[in-house]
Amino acid sequence: MRILMLGFEYLPVKVGGLAEAITSIAETLAELGNEVIVFTPSHGFKEGKEYTSFKIDVSGHVWDVKVYERKQNGVRVFSISDPLLDNSDVYGPGWDGMLSKAVHFGKASVGLLNKIIEREGKPEVIHAHDWHTVFAAGLLRKYFQIPLVATIHRLNKSKVPAYYFHMANLGELAPYPDIDPEHTLCYIADLVTTVSKSYLWEEWTFFGMFEGKVTHVFNGIACDFWNEEFLENKDLPREERRKKILESLGLSDGIAFMFIGRFDKAQKGVDTLLRAIEILAESYLQEFSKMRFIIIGKGDPELEKWAHTLESKYPNNVKVITKMLKREFTRELYGSVDFVVVPSYFEPFGLVQMEAMCLGAIPIGSAVGGIKDTIVSLDEDEENASGLLVPPRDAFALAQAMLRMAKLREENPELLKKMRVNGKRRAKEVFTWENACKRYLRAYKNDIDKAISFIK
């Protein structure tokens, strides 16, 4: 197939997991023999040769647009450039700046596709990722009538002033003063997908509005990078790797738990983890003395302060890192610690538990969204278990889960070894990008099962 992909991020331009996902989908579709082209704002990254140039009119102001094309791992990537689209703040500058950037991206995408059709013909399907592409998707649908698949990686639940839809020549999609761009994107799409089955049902209040054209396509994980073969001390037993990594962080050997993610109050459950550590320190002193907690992330100042307070109070047990780490060092951590804690309140798919399983770290995660779909919990199926699921927002349950897993490490290491093997197999065989993209190809043809509310 000839596929046009729209994304506000594409590697090497990256803010979060979205860039990794879109890039992996595009490259895997290309590996499967499809012709994939990507439209993305330059955000100042203008590598490649100039493909075309033209002008766009935005609210009476004329902007010069240049488009740069590069071939990246089998994918043709078109970076769209103008003075606003070149701003390096991917989701900015500011809220109004980001919305204006999205309008510019939409209008410039029409100009670019017009040039491509003139020279090469049009794509068979458009695949738009998240609401930032709503103006581009809407305009391309309006002017070229190409089938549209929209993927919601995570609901943002924001409103956009109707003014921006009028700026984008899409006034017909703005009957109210404030518009939900996610609803609009899904409304104009022929098919809507999200990234895990559980997240679809958890957010059925939203996705149910599109019943009849909504389904799920699981994300994948690139175990080619998250692989023990690339560890510095790959030939050492895991216990030795753990001891070395803990010593490098100023901690003595012990039962190692790790958290990595944003410090936010809305999603990642950092407060649940910090409270669980307090419970362990206050009520289970003997067991706590053997535990080591590596907490990596940054964000909310109050959560950072709380984490550093715990580190100061329990310096032999807690290490807090509030700086960006190289992916290679993160890989070393995954390949060395015993357990990775993923205490999210919600998680559309989640990469942390997948990266952990690729490298043999056992995830302890909230029973929500993609975490619930990707981890086989010890409580549900001991034979195939790859981790342990706990209720979200329950610090006591999380503390008990960590106690339980610490006890297993001492009393039943063979079971944990089996869980590590199960996790690696599940990540490498079930949740592959190839499997995901084969399902996307079915979605593009509307040859795919749907979420149906009255069938249980």
Domains, the chain, in order of start with CATH, read 2-220+434-444 (3.40.50.2000), 228-430 (3.40.50.2000)
Higher pLDDT, 7 or 325: 7
What's the confidence (pLDDT) of residue 19?
A: 94
Q: What is the mean pLDDT of the chain?
A: 97
Residue 223 confidence (pLDDT) above 90: no
Fill in the amino acid letter for 184: T
What's the confidence (pLDDT) of residue 216?
A: 98
For the record, the structure tokens of 39 come out as 């439209």
Residue 16 confidence (pLDDT) above 90: no
- The pLDDT tens digits for 183-210 are 999 999 999 999 999 999 999 999 999 9
Mean pLDDT value across residues 21-34: 97
Residue 224: pLDDT band (50, 70, 90) is: confident
What's the confidence (pLDDT) of residue 107?
A: 98
What's the confidence (pLDDT) of residue 250?
A: 97
What's the confidence (pLDDT) of residue 5?
A: 98
- The pLDDT tens digits for 124-166 are 999 999 999 999 999 999 999 999 999 999 999 999 999 999 9
What's the confidence (pLDDT) of residue 441?
A: 98
Residue 257: pLDDT band (50, 70, 90) is: very high
What's the confidence (pLDDT) of residue 322?
A: 93
- The pLDDT tens digits for 281-336 are 999 999 999 999 999 999 999 999 999 999 999 999 999 999 888 889 999 999 99
What's the confidence (pLDDT) of residue 17?
A: 85
What's the confidence (pLDDT) of residue 70?
A: 98
Mean pLDDT value across residues 73-101: 97
- Rounded distance between C-alpha atoms, residue 130 and residue 427, angstroms: 25
What's the confidence (pLDDT) of residue 324?
A: 81
What's the confidence (pLDDT) of residue 143?
A: 98
- The pLDDT tens digits for 367-414 are 999 999 999 999 999 999 999 999 999 999 999 999 999 999 999 999
